[in-house]
């Protein structure tokens, strides 16, 4: 009997998406297709036996070449016939099919999986891919269009724009919201970087000019919602010492950071070529409060806990769409969150983690 090599750590998110609800131990033999619960290959065979399902699947497969690639400021366009094909498959077993890292016919299985999720519609712009997933989800698409309309140049009223932004990040599912805001871009891909910066409609959502950061803080403190979210951010994204030890886990820091979007203290990426973030303000004219102002500004722009949380989430997102994941997943694992309590154990994911991850994956559709 062929045995797999010594167990290696799981990659944080991508492999969890492909794991069975019941884990296989390191000493198990290589799995065959029959072991998998609803593998994508099995699901496609069932679909092919149904004329309606089969026609919808083949049409959806052809959609990958017909979806237009918009500019960074344009809305993602999905042809109506592609939407219809996707709707016909919503009750198909294809929608919940899975693949396993060690299964036979792995490449064919993943090809079916990504055809269903339209994740291979574009080349390397992952911000477009996450925008596609949002567009194909009714709730995410509705909430995104609402703040897009409220924050458009011709209709921009900043307080309404901020209200709709808060509504999106409060009501959209976390995978959708984080995928749109924290999508990874290649350093040379400025179109992707610009699209990421434009996620929060900065031309309307951010204050005009460059107000003093302490003025923004005063506006925030005067508003109960903003004040509580600022405290939340300062609590969960706070480095405890010079070594960079963070107060809480990265997931809490990211939620606290995203909670500020749509408030007077809305942060954003500062350029198209890196992942640095900052408030839209300056410390000029702070007088004898200059140091206080700089500390406030640097709690965003030079926050090691926040930067590592953002970078880690982007690495996770990159692995979701990586076509070279078999070679790269374990190197990503080495760079992830250093908190041992949050590290997946070698080949022993909890039933809760797998179940929750699969639920989140299904919510992306």
Assign 268 to helix, strand or coil. strand
Angle between the N-to-C axes of helices 126-135 and 304-320, in degrees from 0 to 180, rounded to the nearest 10: 70
* Cα distance between residue 34 and residue 328, in whole Å: 27
Give me the residues of the chain with pLDDT under 50, please.
1-35, 69, 71-73, 119-121, 123, 323-365
Per-residue model confidence (pLDDT) at position 348:
27
> Which backbone phi and psi does 194 adopt, to 5 degrees?
-65, -40
* Cα distance between residue 308 and residue 89, in whole Å: 38
Per-residue model confidence (pLDDT) at position 190:
86
CB 196 within 8 A of CB 185: yes
Per-residue model confidence (pLDDT) at position 78:
64
Per-residue model confidence (pLDDT) at position 3:
45
Per-residue model confidence (pLDDT) at position 81:
83
Per-residue model confidence (pLDDT) at position 55:
93
> What tokens were used for 240?
């405890």
Q: Is 38 left (phi over 0), alpha (psi -120 to 50) or beta?
A: left
Angle between the N-to-C axes of helices 174-181 and 351-363, in degrees from 0 to 180, rounded to the nearest 10: 70
> What tokens were used for 5?
């090599």
CB 264 within 8 A of CB 224: no
Cα 9 to chain centroid, rounded: 22
* Cα distance between residue 216 and residue 283, in whole Å: 11
Residue 268, beta-bridge partner list: 278
End-to-end Cα separation, the chain, in angstroms: 39
Residue 278, beta-bridge partner list: 268
Q: Is 105 left (phi over 0), alpha (psi -120 to 50) or beta?
A: left
CB 338 within 8 A of CB 6: no
> What tokens were used for 7?
């167990």
Per-residue model confidence (pLDDT) at position 263:
97
The model scores a pTM over 0.75: no
């Amino acid at each position: 009997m062929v045995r797999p090599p010594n167990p290696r750590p799981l990659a944080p998110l991508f492999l969890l998406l492909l794991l069975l609800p019941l884990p296989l131990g390191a000493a198990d033999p290589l799995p065959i297709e029959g072991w998998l619960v609803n593998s994508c290959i099995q699901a496609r065979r069932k679909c092919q036996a149904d004329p309606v399902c089969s026609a919808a699947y083949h049409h959806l497969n052809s959609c990958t070449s017909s979806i237009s690639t918009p500019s960074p400021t344009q809305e993602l366009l999905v042809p109506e016939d592609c939407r219809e094909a996707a709707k016909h498959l919503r009750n198909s077993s294809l929608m919940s099919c899975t693949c396993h890292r060690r299964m036979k016919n792995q490449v064919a299985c993943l090809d079916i999986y990504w055809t269903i999720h339209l994740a291979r519609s574009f080349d390397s712009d992952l911000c477009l891919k996450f925008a596609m997933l949002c567009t194909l989800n009714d709730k995410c698409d509705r909430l995104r269009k609402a703040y897009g309309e409220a924050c458009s140049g011709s209709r921009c009223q900043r307080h309404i724009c901020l209200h709709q932004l808060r509504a999106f990040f409060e009501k959209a599912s976390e995978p959708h919201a984080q995928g749109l805001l924290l999508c990874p871009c290649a350093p040379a891909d400025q179109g992707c970087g610009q699209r990421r910066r434009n996620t929060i409609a900065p031309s309307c959502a951010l204050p005009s000019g460059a107000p003093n950061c302490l003025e923004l803080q005063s506006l925030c403190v005067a508003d109960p919602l903003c004040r509580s979210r600022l405290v939340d951010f300062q609590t969960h994204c706070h480095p405890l010492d010079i070594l960079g030890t963070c107060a809480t886990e990265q997931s809490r820091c990211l939620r606290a950071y995203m909670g500020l979007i749509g408030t007077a203290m809305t942060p954003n990426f500062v350029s198209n070529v890196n992942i640095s973030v900052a408030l839209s303000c300056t410390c000029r004219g702070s007088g004898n409060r200059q140091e206080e102002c700089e500390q406030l500004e640097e709690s965003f722009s030079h926050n090691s806990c926040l930067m590592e949380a953002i970078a880690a989430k982007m690495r996770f997102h990159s692995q979701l769409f990586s076509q070279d994941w078999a070679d790269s997943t374990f190197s990503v694992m080495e760079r992830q969150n250093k908190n041992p309590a949050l590290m997946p154990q070698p080949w022993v994911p909890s039933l809760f983690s797998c179940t929750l991850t699969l639920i989140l994956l299904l919510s992306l559709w």
